[in-house]
Amino acid sequence: MEKTNSLSIYDFNAININGESVPLANYKGKTLLIVNVASKCGFTSQYKDLEEIYKNYKDQGLEILAFPCNQFGAQEPGDAEEIKKFCSLSYDVTFSLFSKVDVNGDNATPLYQYLKEALPGILGTKAIKWNFTKFLVNKEGVPQKRYAPNDSPKDILSDIKKIL
């Protein structure tokens, strides 16, 4: 289940939804759920469960990091302001939103290159198949498990609780 190499999640920075660089080392000691999201996806309703889980477990050390992505069916066409507004008004999202990224291809953000290398998908495929692929990362910054888009956040809650 666990794969290690010389890097950890803490070696990366990400640009938040407000355009500010955030060292992921800021999340040391936290359990992370990293998700590529989209506002016009069949799985968009997962925002509701993600927010509920975040509110219930943030005080125990859970952080959810959401990375909007427009690589799958152009399902995240908006700019940062539109994404923020959608997440706030539609799902009252309070977990961390980041700027739009590519998760596949030559322009994939280094964080996602690392996650895909650490935890390949079924049959060893590294590509992200669709929006709402989820990566669970332990408190030491080591990726633990990868979940498919159709894995509901509530279905993976027991795995989250085990490493909180």
State the amino acid at position 68 in one-letter form: P
Single out the residue of 42, 43, 12 nearest to residue 112, CA to CA.
Answer: 12
Residue tagged active-site, from 24, 34, 41, 65: 41
41 is catalytic: yes
| CB-based burial label for 61 (10 Å; 0-12, 13-18, 19+) | middle
Residue 25 near residue 40 (C-beta atoms within 8 A) = no
Active-site annotation, residues: 41
